[in-house]
Amino acid sequence: MSLQITPVTPSDPTSFDQYLAAAAVLHKHETPAFPPTTRKQLSSMFEHPWPGNVQERYVASAEGEVVGYVSVEHYTEDNPDMANLDLGVLPEHRRRGHGRELLAFAEERARDLGKKTVNTHSMWTLPELDLVAPDEDGPAFARAMGYRDALPEVNRVLDLSTVDESVLDGMLEHARAKADGYRLIRWNDPTPDDIVHDIAYLDGRLLADAPMGDTGWEPMNVDAERVRKTEAAIIARGRTSYHTGMVHSDTGRVVAWTTITADDEFDWHAWQQITIVDPDHRGHRLGALVKVENLRWFREQNPKVTAIDTFNAAENGYMIAINEQMGFRPQYAFQNWRKDF
């Protein structure tokens, strides 16, 4: 039985609603502690894409019933050989070949676009952290389809009712003792003109510096114009960003940077985004300093937030140690999967 696969666009309310409903079922099954994707968010992903990023979404039906979805994301400014897939089949429709058919469709689309590598992800069980996936379908399917595991990733959540301020005080005291010659700055988007080139440099380093395992992602080409386009999309999507940086007094450059973003639809939740320290300025506890200072500033401004989520590669020991010290605790594990054509 062949699937009917329909492109999702905001101008087609049926496909749009079906995609949203299917994504909501998977969200509830897999990651119920995260905020769900809302109608407004899905619309703004179409209206305000990230610069250099093209996302195609499809919904799949069998015998008139929605059974799953897939998205194919590809890139125009870097990673030209790469596509990223996100595929889900509703739990009650599994093991009937729908996943195989949807994946074949998405891989063919990636091949037609000239891509040589596809990445995707699934939930993952990590016994050493007591993290158990809701089922083992994703990994079993990925292996059966010829994918190899490329990078395990762990989501940690900070329950703000449990934060121990004395631990944060201690982290700051220890960090400040090693951070002579640096001064702290804070800003909301848009990034001030005088630091936008430093931020572009740090942002572009991220994929070069963070452990990327065997995923094959190349560092992004980020310049000031791309920073401006990204933050314009962030603002248009209804997100407020809280940034803290450290400026190296001798050179006047921002050499450490962290961000927390909050979506205006959820007053209880935020995401701890990237944290990066320029390699020339490591060893001064700048990573811990910006994270703790940013968390405190964010909480002052957003007293209703109760949970902050973050992601790290399972092997990113340095950042995980800081997060654990701050009180972040493992919540979900994921595996990144890769296949080369």
Which CB atom, from 56 or from 265, has the smaller least distance to ligand ACO? 56
Query: With CB under 6 A as the contact rule, which of the stretches 8-16, 109-117, 137-145, 154-162 interacts with ligand ACO?
Result: 137-145
Closest CA to 263 of 61, 71, 42, 53: 42
Instruction: Write out the two tokens for 140.
Output: 């079993």
The reply to whether 103 sits near ligand ACO by the rule CB under 6 A is: yes
Which CB atom, from 98 or from 239, has the smaller least distance to ligand ACO? 98
Residues in contact with ligand ACO, counted by CB under 6 A, come to a total of: 24
Residues 6+ apart with CB under 8 A from 159: 306, 307, 327, 329
Task: Restricting to residues 177-196, name those near ligand ACO by CB under 6 A.
Answer: none
The reply to whether 19 sits near ligand ACO by the rule CB under 6 A is: no
Give the torsion sign (CA, 247, 275, 285, 304): positive
Among 7, 32, 97, 114, which residue sits at the site for ligand ACO (rule: CB under 6 A)?
A: 97
Beta strands in the chain (DSSP E): 4-7, 53-62, 65-75, 82-89, 117-124, 148-159, 182-188, 239-248, 253-263, 269-277, 307-313, 329-340
The reply to whether 138 sits near ligand ACO by the rule CB under 6 A is: yes
Among 6, 84, 119, 120, which residue sits at the site for ligand ACO (rule: CB under 6 A)?
A: 120
Residue 265: how many CB atoms within 10 A of its CB? 14
The reply to whether 337 sits near ligand ACO by the rule CB under 6 A is: yes
Residues 289 and 123: their CA atoms lie apart, in Å, by: 32
Among 137, 149, 223, 265, which residue sits at the site for ligand ACO (rule: CB under 6 A)?
A: 137
Positions touching ligand ACO (CB under 6 A) are 85, 87-89, 94-100, 103, 120, 122, 136-138, 140-142, 144-145, 147, 337
